[in-house]
Structure 1
Amino acid sequence: MLIGAGYFFELLCTGQLKPVAGQPIFQETRFGWVVSGPADNVINSGGWAASAVNLSITENTETDLEQSITTFWKLEEYESKSVYTKEEKECESHFDNNINRDESGRFRVRLPFKKNDYKRDTQLKQDYIKCMSEYEALEHMERVDNEIENKDREGKYYIPHHAVRNDSSTTTKLRVVFDALIAEDRRDFQHVLWRPEPTQPIHVYRLNTLTYGTVPASYLATACLENLANTECDSCPEVGELIIRDFYMDDYLGGAMSKAGAIQLRDDLISIMSKAGLELRKWLSNDPELIVNVHSDNNNIRGRGQCPDSQAKILSEIATIFDPLGLFGPVIIIAKIIMQKLWQIKVNWDDVLPDNICAEWQRYRDGLPSLNNLRIPRKIISNKIVVITEIHGFVDASEKAYGACLYLRTTGVHKNIDVKLICAKSNVAPLKIVSLPRLELCAALLLSRLRNKLIPKLNLKINRRRFWTDSKVVLAWITSPSGRWKTFVAHRVCEIQELAACSEWSHVPTHDNAADV
């Protein structure tokens, strides 16, 4: 960026830092902070000292709070089944060939190596040697073999390096990349240093168990559960299927059609997991009788103290709201709308908020404890004999938000009908003005993704699917070829048509729309 000298002083602000005499200074400008001044040890062949000027305009690094808000705010993307890469398949094969159990039943695994492409790929080896030779020829690195004999390693660090290929590049197809990633291996490669007190000598420890934080840890833990389900569930194969399906890392979420079935499932899980030395704990249930004799933690929504006086405090509380099934959708969407208002007023994290927003948040938060009195039956299948099982989905939108909900409708032998809410999802409307029909279309896409993700998980024989919208415009879009519409509509219609048949969509009057709350 080139700026005329006549504007120089108009761009300067009052902020200025001089950390060390004779070193670069930091000057605040209207564009941000600039660094200017002499740089040590940078001398050209003519003996002139070099000076450095730098302008950096970047956004702040995302804080933990911002990450929490991003996670809360993000609308889940429902992706198709993952396809394993060649390397992932080799990792799975390595696990199958090396897993075993000790005398107590605990799993013993070996950490997988990444294969050395340098040895297997002759062309990679030649390119790598050429690149490193050029480094040495250009004096970007020099040999210091005599320093190996130096016993004092303080101040030294050996950085691993690897190759990055870009075959489409017309110039450099291979670059050597240096980084600080240290490869983990088996037990001898899992050492730690520890001393309880600063006055005690440092001891070296070797970790003999799977260490979380290493790259393969999550896969090995999950693969052990799958192996356990396949080897220890011959007498109860249905439980093995549940272990594979309903575990996420070390958390299990499941249920049964009856209380007796849930107790049996609980006991089977405890028995099977104990064979591998795995103890299930932190039990939670909607029926206290199911966890009377096991360790459990309580999970309640609790009210808090006085109204926060800053954006950071409000957002941190909103980020703690956890409603994965959207059962509290009409309540959660209010928090999302408040969050959007906070972003619109563009205040700093710790600035005092306007009275109207603080009062709105106070009213909202004061009502949260009442959710503890809400009871939602999680069993969605009728206790009576079912002859017809249907899925019904509804969508709706307003200027502030849009959402979707899924219901299970069952009909018994005596024509008795039972309807239960499966789940719901909502999102606030974007700040940029979008027409109401387009927001209704976004809701239809949201329902399609929700349907595609959750219906297969029900493991039910569905006789009929029907999805409802009170927007005739959206219905016309969905039931017509996507190529007829402009980009915004065409992309969403195309995905909706891929996820659900056009014949499954119908119109419903607004007053009968279950998503209109």
Structure 2
Amino acid sequence: MEFPHQKIDISHLDIPTDIILADSLFNETSKIDLIIGVEIFYDLLRDGQIKFGPNQPLLQNTALGWIVSGRVSSQHIQPSIANVAHESIPFIEQQLVRFWEIESCQTKSVLSREESLCEEHFAKTTARDSSGRFVVALPKKEDVISRIGNSKNIASRRFMSLERRLLSNPELKEAYSKFIHEWRDSPTQPLQTYQLTTVTYGTSAAPYLATKCLQKLGEDGSIIYPEAAVIIRNDVYMDDLLSGADSINKGKELCSQLIELANSAGLQFRKWASNSHEILESVPIHLRDERTLFELDSSCASIKTLGLKWDILSDKFLFEIPKHSRNLPLTKRVVLSDIARLFDPLGLVGPVVIQAKLFMQELWKEGKDWDDSLNDNYHLRWINFRNNLSDPAKLEIPRWMMTSFTNESTKYHGFCDASERAYGACIYVRTISSDGSIYVRLLTAKSKVAPIGKTKKDTTVCLPRLELCAALLLSHLYEKVQSCIKMKVKTFFWTDSTIVLHWISGSPSRWKTFVGNRVSEIQRITVNSVWAHVPGIENPADVISRGMSPEQLKEFTIWWNGPPWLSQSPRFWPPLTRQTGDNFPPNELEERCVFLYAQTKPPNEIFSLYSSFTKLTRVIALLQRFIHNDDTTKRPQQKTGMCR
């Protein structure tokens, strides 16, 4: 095979004379000497890129020398047919904008038309056979199926081709048949058509059908297996079930119910693991998982992530550091890929992750292309960030919150804060043991980068508004915790922004739209809870709004255990008092302006007759008496005397 098909004129390309090309005759037709696989290709790339201009090729530095890549404008090159993978850059940029776009007031998820049709289809077509197994029908897009056509001829040709290949290699045929036997034993036998009676793994409908069947199993088993049914409905994530119990006996009973309920549908929960050896012994041996360390990000099992892991022996959460390719040039695309590997669902290392988010926002504001190499400053900063990620690997975070969430001694304390670049929230669990000891543990946290203007004329959101956004973020985080734990726990909310406390204490209709909408949502979620002021230096959410290196975070006690006074009696807490608006500038209060229409009406002319109101009333009284006495029908009731 020869490439390119015809010689290309490169006289218009200003190729520097001080670089070494990997192929100095790249523009002339010649045979391809070597095809390099993609697994090696990226290891060959080096920092350095030279662009010739729009719709022109570029020079890329590699270990073999500089190569020319891209499109050329030539009418002499004949078109060819190829399979192309297309990636929409505008779509990626839209997704990235959402990365730091300001949060809106939370709305309920609404099913699309296709999703609603799938729900209806499952409800109408799903049944259980005599053995208890689920019988489902695949949801289909009829308009797509009608375009597929008859594929039997294609399948038959592929079958014949594979059969000829196996007949020419008896050893391969024997090995293949040991794995799966679907072939006729002789080419003289007729072809048979098989119909698959199970849901095929890998089809787009498979995850949906599996999840829906589990949900239906939870509904069907709610009477006989009440505890297991609740767990199946609420504690299944993707293809993992994560749950727990308050005692060993309850744990054993829960395992027994789950196994029996699954067996009733011909299913098996496998790879059981527990931090209790006694509970694990109640599970059949063939269903147990003997590992001691578990990756909690099952959806990213194929890539290395800054993954949250659970060590069942110590019952602690650990972090695994992702391995980055040292030879891949650093670009905005590579940085985004690195950030996507930071799996921290509970926000335990949120101050570290927010640094990565802020770095990405800086690249966005610079307007760099996705595949432009980073300049020296950005390159060095990101390399340092990568290297510092080794410190979270040394963190050991207790999984147990020292509470069963069932007693009055358990309280939630939520903190929120904002800076000009980001805002965040964190929630702690405070418990008092039977001996009076007080324990405070970080439960979860969340952060967002502050929004930026779409153009240079756009202004960013002011700090008081960001503080309000942080309070709303805390409210939504609390709402999420409540939906997961489902226990009524008294909650205290803390912020170092006095103006936010003043907004929350007022009626939403009093404030302008931006403030009023968020205040309304906060009041709805945190009704009957306490909002109070915490000094900024004692606010643990400050660190998640500004970021912190992994090495510093490891020793930052206030992040892991809250402010010191939280581990003491409430008499040492900051006062739980509301803030008045006397000290706030009017422009910061953002009060809604109320306009009243006033019409001036002149006084009655009678008041212009006399300058004395007393004299005026006497004259009017005399006139009224004259009119009365002049009436012939009222002669018997005539009035006399002096008017006073």
Q: Normalised by the size of structure 2, how large is the TM-score? A: 0.53
The match for 1:513 is: 539
Change (3 A) 1:324 1:303: closer
Q: Deviations over 1:393-444 (max 9, x none)?
A: 1101112211001122223455432222221100112234332211111101
Deviation at 1:85, TM superposition (A): 9.5
> In structure 2, how many angstroms separate the alpha carbons of the residues matched to 1:489 and 1:304?
44
Is the partner of 2:492 in helix, strand or coil? Answer: strand
The match for 2:486 is: 459
Q: Deviations over 1:280-322 (max 9, x none)?
A: 4566777899879326685352353538522222211111111
> Residue 261 of structure 2 is aligned with which of 254, 265, 272?
272
> In structure 2, how many angstroms separate the alpha carbons of the residues matched to 1:363 and 1:288?
42
Partner amino acid, structure 2, of 1:304: K
Partner amino acid, structure 1, of 2:339: I
Deviation at 1:325, TM superposition (A): 1.3
Deviation at 1:196, TM superposition (A): 5.1
> Residue 449 of structure 1 is aligned with which of 454, 458, 476?
476
The match for 1:479 is: 505
Deviation at 1:190, TM superposition (A): 12
Is the partner of 1:387 in helix, strand or coil? Answer: coil
The match for 1:495 is: 521
Q: Deviations over 1:258-279 (max 9, x none)?
A: 5675566456434533443434
CA contact (8 A) 1:69 1:316 kept: no
Change (3 A) 1:101 1:303: closer
Measured on the aligned residues, the alpha-carbon RMSD in Å equals 4.4
Calculate percent identity across the aligned residue pairs: 42
The match for 1:176 is: none
The match for 2:196 is: 207
> In structure 2, how many angstroms separate the alpha carbons of the residues matched to 1:95 and 1:281?
26
Change (3 A) 1:61 1:91: closer
The match for 1:257 is: 246
Is the partner of 2:517 in helix, strand or coil? Answer: helix
> Does 2:430 correspond to 1:409?
yes
> Residue 321 of structure 2 is aligned with which of 302, 307, 320?
302
Is the partner of 1:181 in helix, strand or coil? Answer: helix
CA contact (8 A) 1:102 1:108 kept: yes
> In structure 2, how many angstroms separate the alpha carbons of the residues matched to 1:190 and 1:243?
41
The match for 1:363 is: 384
Partner amino acid, structure 1, of 2:461: V
Deviation at 1:334, TM superposition (A): 0.8
Q: Deviations over 1:18-54 (max 9, x none)?
A: 6699x9xxxxxxxxxxxxxxxxxxxxxxxxxxxxxxx
Is the partner of 2:390 in helix, strand or coil? Answer: helix
Change (3 A) 1:199 1:193: closer
> In structure 2, how many angstroms separate the alpha carbons of the residues matched to 1:260 and 1:196?
56
Q: Deviations over 1:436-494 (max 9, x none)?
A: 211111101111111122213212232x2221110011111222222333333233223
Is the partner of 2:414 in helix, strand or coil? Answer: strand
Deviation at 1:389, TM superposition (A): 2.6
Relative to structure 2, which stretch is displaced further, 213-222 or 368-377? 213-222
Is the partner of 1:516 in helix, strand or coil? Answer: helix
> Does 2:181 correspond to 1:181?
no
> In structure 2, how many angstroms separate the alpha carbons of the residues matched to 1:424 and 1:190?
54
> In structure 1, how many angstroms separate the alpha carbons of the residues matched to 2:151 and 2:506?
60
Deviation at 1:500, TM superposition (A): 2.1
Gaps of 5+ in 2: 1-52, 57-71, 80-86, 165-190, 296-306, 308-319, 454-459, 544-644
Q: Deviations over 1:120-158 (max 9, x none)?
A: xxxxxxxxxxxxxxxxxxxxxxxxxxxxxxxxxxxxxxx
Is the partner of 1:207 in helix, strand or coil? Answer: coil
CA contact (8 A) 1:191 1:205 kept: no
> Residue 317 of structure 1 is aligned with which of 320, 338, 347?
338
Gaps of 5+ in 1: 1-11, 24-59, 115-159, 161-179
> Does 2:215 correspond to 1:226?
yes
CA contact (8 A) 1:385 1:412 kept: no
CA contact (8 A) 2:331 2:373 kept: yes
> Does 2:411 correspond to 1:422?
no
> In structure 1, how many angstroms separate the alpha carbons of the residues matched to 2:360 and 2:123?
48
> In structure 1, how many angstroms separate the alpha carbons of the residues matched to 2:507 and 2:151?
58
> In structure 2, how many angstroms separate the alpha carbons of the residues matched to 1:191 and 1:371?
56
CA contact (8 A) 1:281 1:295 kept: no
CA contact (8 A) 1:68 1:319 kept: no
Superposed, 1:77-96 pairs within 5 Å as 95=122
The match for 2:348 is: 327
CA contact (8 A) 2:221 2:261 kept: yes
CA contact (8 A) 1:78 1:450 kept: no
Partner amino acid, structure 1, of 2:410: T
The match for 1:434 is: 461
Change (3 A) 1:360 1:88: closer
Radius of gyration: which is bigger? Answer: 2
Change (3 A) 1:77 1:368: farther
> Residue 336 of structure 1 is aligned with which of 346, 357, 381?
357
Partner amino acid, structure 2, of 1:407: Y
Change (3 A) 1:365 1:86: closer
Q: Deviations over 1:191-232 (max 9, x none)?
A: 994735646599865332235787865554333112322444
CA contact (8 A) 2:413 2:428 kept: yes
Deviation at 1:515, TM superposition (A): 1.2
> Does 2:248 correspond to 1:243?
no
Is the partner of 1:206 in helix, strand or coil? Answer: coil
> In structure 2, how many angstroms separate the alpha carbons of the residues matched to 1:326 and 1:417?
23
CA contact (8 A) 1:69 1:319 kept: no
Q: Deviations over 1:351-410 (max 9, x none)?
A: 221222121111211122322221222222427984333221110111221100112222
Partner amino acid, structure 1, of 2:229: G
CA contact (8 A) 1:395 1:447 kept: yes
Is the partner of 2:428 in helix, strand or coil? Answer: strand
> In structure 2, how many angstroms separate the alpha carbons of the residues matched to 1:113 and 1:282?
33
CA contact (8 A) 2:102 2:450 kept: no
Change (3 A) 1:482 1:387: closer
The match for 1:349 is: 370
Greater relative contact order structure (CA < 8 Å, 6+ sep): 2
> In structure 2, how many angstroms separate the alpha carbons of the residues matched to 1:106 and 1:272?
12
Is the partner of 2:441 in helix, strand or coil? Answer: strand
Is the partner of 2:88 in helix, strand or coil? Answer: coil
CA contact (8 A) 2:401 2:441 kept: yes
CA contact (8 A) 2:415 2:541 kept: yes
Superposed, 1:1-16 pairs within 5 Å as none
CA contact (8 A) 1:326 1:425 kept: yes
> In structure 2, how many angstroms separate the alpha carbons of the residues matched to 1:482 and 1:384?
33
Of Structure 1 and Structure 2, which has the larger fraction of its residues in strand? Answer: 1
The match for 2:583 is: none
Relative to structure 2, which stretch is displaced further, 270-279 or 71-80? 71-80
